[in-house]
Structure 1
């Protein structure tokens, strides 16, 4: 591992991608494996919260009839498809990830205006209009303001949005970590792609131990 890619855990922030009701089992556009990794995503969020480290929940919102949509789904959304639509239960963050309790409703008015939905001093929700979480969002600025230099990624559907987000983070000189057991649709090919650009591949247990810091002795 290069000195330029090694994670700085004390300067890390968690970016949770697309963990929304519509992408889980029973949703309008379920992604296989998302339910299975949800407990680990919850554990990561709880651990970063306890450590006082920044957390950003990245979400998609598809207003029916909109054309500001990724190309593979544009025709369906333009025709009125309801998936991850504003002010629907499917757009909510899956229960227990953005804090205790049930699914967290997202504030579509705030998010579609490009602003963060603030959940706490170090925790927000941001809307992304395409695959990568840095595209047309305030993510980079928000992380820099909190002296984050290491982006830890977990969430839904590695081949698409988590992977794009890791490439964008690397392009911006962030150190990058993928939590393999907290992201759906993992494959050896995708992991090799990411390792090739300096992404650290890690596990929920390892990340939580690192973020918590060394045990107090004596």
Structure 2
């Protein structure tokens, strides 16, 4: 890879996307998400040990579907429960924490540690309608490592938006459920296995 897209590990942040119990083992489990749980937890532990920022990005759907994408509103209005605030399935699967839905839905991050937060996103991308870019900029971050649930939807949208914000962007190929190899090579997304990322951080 050339220098313009190569990750800077010392100024990188880990973004975990939609790693919630409902999507891992619940009624709406996404194929392969339970399988990557150990890998994502290992990345979280490594970033935490290195003192690098971690943002766990999550979804919360109101029962009336008013904060959902158009394609999901009908199923929620019909009574389907999906990562509803305060539900067991909405809780994070990668960290021991209880969501504070009112805080998160109000657009505020929930602090978990010195450099670790939970963040609610109202649409597919972690950058849409959130203060994520401002937060990363304030922390001096120029590289994002993206892992999590259901690559074709939210992780993919997040990766694309990250490149459009001139961030160096890394997709964890074995830390994304429903991964599509080579999908974003043409726009400068670097695909690496978790072992290579862990080595980069350690180095």
TM value normalised by structure 1: 0.90
The aligned residue for residue 182 of structure 1 is: 175
The aligned residue for residue 14 of structure 2 is: 14
TM value normalised by structure 2: 0.97
User: Are the aligned partners of 1:58 and 1:125 in contact in 2 as well (CA < 8 Å)?
Assistant: yes
Please report the RMSD computed on the Cα atoms of aligned residues, expressed in angstroms: 1.0
Structure 1 residue 76 corresponds to structure 2 residue 75: yes
Deviating above 3 A after TM superposition, structure 1's stretches of 4 or more consecutive aligned residues are: none
Distance 2:48 2:60 in 1: 25
User: Are the aligned partners of 2:151 and 2:178 in contact in 1 as well (CA < 8 Å)?
Assistant: yes
Structure 1 residue 107 corresponds to structure 2 residue 97: no
User: Are the aligned partners of 2:58 and 2:119 in contact in 1 as well (CA < 8 Å)?
Assistant: yes
Equivalenced residue count is: 203
Give, in angstroms, the shift of residue 80 of structure 1.
3.0
User: Are the aligned partners of 2:54 and 2:115 in contact in 1 as well (CA < 8 Å)?
Assistant: yes
Gaps of 5+ in 1: 214-218
Distance 1:59 1:164 in 2: 14
The aligned residue for residue 56 of structure 1 is: 55
Gaps of 5+ in 2: none
User: Are the aligned partners of 1:181 and 1:203 in contact in 2 as well (CA < 8 Å)?
Assistant: yes
Distance 1:59 1:113 in 2: 13
SS of residue in 2 equivalent to 1:16: strand
Give, in angstroms, the shift of residue 71 of structure 1.
2.0
User: Are the aligned partners of 2:127 and 2:133 in contact in 1 as well (CA < 8 Å)?
Assistant: yes
Distance 1:123 1:4 in 2: 27
Structure 1 residue 120 corresponds to structure 2 residue 113: yes
